[in-house]
Structure 1
């Protein structure tokens, strides 16, 4: 069976209401989450401040990989921007898939590289001294227009999936 099908069969399907958290800063790493329909907002905490919206991911976007792979507490919050359906691949399923298919870690590494690229774009946005340049960079990040590596080598949306 292809890796994509193994992942889809291993995922839990979760429906979220607008404003509902997938996870919050400090939560235990339970797995990775892929958007099937709707939008998720990635909120990054700043020292001494509330988490700030840094990115909005739509269908095909996966998040939570760093904490899931490393087994550490969440460092960001992921919140539904609208009614959203996500797929959750548990950390235990990730480990099981990697034991069964040695190429699985390559797919997870590709995801981590793409999300690291997103992190660098966010840092670049925050370092801009001009408010106009910072807002323009933020809008590019939110629109997902920064140059990024492919998130995974398979699509998140299973066939016959109904969206919001």
Structure 2
């Protein structure tokens, strides 16, 4: 498999302009990026698993990741998909506990990784940076609130549209998501997903091929998904 290369300066620009890091001061951005390493993951490759040892934070430069989690003693299940600008892994820094989610590359993905010891060094030099890192968890909470809200929709078609619309930040990238995986995120059966996908395709909102989905009109999906919201 050929590898898509991304230059370091281009990767840093993406993270400065999208997601959590874009809201931080220029000096803090530079310090995070100076201490980080650029990593490459192939489709399906595990970045970390539930229960893994302490580690640092990851920011998506390009590609997409699957976010899998579950309560203790249950198998992790797919709950969301992260795209460029998405950061996660802050739990180890905040709690000194092991990983609580599983992160897996959905497609070929480039990530910026800031090791935990580098985070600790930054916090030792300036305790206020702990607040900067703590903001990542609020982004995760916002995403979780969105997931819960979408799952509370009564109409399965609107739940499915909500799940698909959440992947829109990935852009025109084709996602190798199965109907079963979409059903898991949308609390819908495979039959319901299949029927909804056919309707959405006929409307021109997306296109599908074998194990692949491309969002063509995220705004139409959003309008349909939120039609019953108050």
Normalising by the smaller structure, the TM-score range is 0.7 to 0.9
Distance 1:47 1:78, change over 3 A: same
Question: Larger Cα Rg: Structure 1 or Structure 2?
Answer: 2
Shift of 1:136: 2.6
Deviates more, 1:91-100 or 1:40-49: 40-49
TM-score (structure 1 length as normaliser): 0.76
The aligned counterpart of 2:40 is: 15
Contact between 2:94 and 2:134, CA under 8 Å: does it hold in 1?
no
Whole-Å separation in 2 of the counterparts to 1:123 and 1:47: 19
Written as runs of structure 1 = structure 2, the 5 A alignment for 1:3-152 is 3-45=28-70, 50-143=75-168
Unaligned runs of 5+ in 1: 146-164
Change (3 A) 1:86 1:124: same
CA contact (8 A) 2:93 2:116 kept: yes
Measured after TM superposition, the shift of residue 127 of structure 1 is 3.6
What secondary structure sits across from 2:112 in the alignment?
A: strand
**Structure with more of its chain in helix, by fraction:** 2
SS in 2 for 1:142: helix
- Deviations 1:84-111, CA, capped at 9 Å, x for gaps: 1111111221121112233312221221
Higher relative contact order (CA 8 A, sep 6+): 1
Distance 1:38 1:30, change over 3 A: same
Deviation at 1:21, TM superposition (A): 0.8
CA RMSD of aligned residues (A): 2.4
Structure with more strand by fraction: 1
Distance in 2 of aligned mates of 1:41 and 1:80: 6
Instruction: Tell me if structure 1 keeps the 8 A contact 2:59–2:85.
Output: yes
Conservation of the 8 A alpha-carbon contact between 2:150 and 2:159: yes
Q: Show structure 2 runs of 5+ residues with no match.
A: 1-25, 171-230
Contact persistence 1:122–1:141 (CA under 8 A): no
Match of 1:148 in 2: none
C-alpha change, 1:67 and 1:125, in structure 2 (3 Å) is: farther
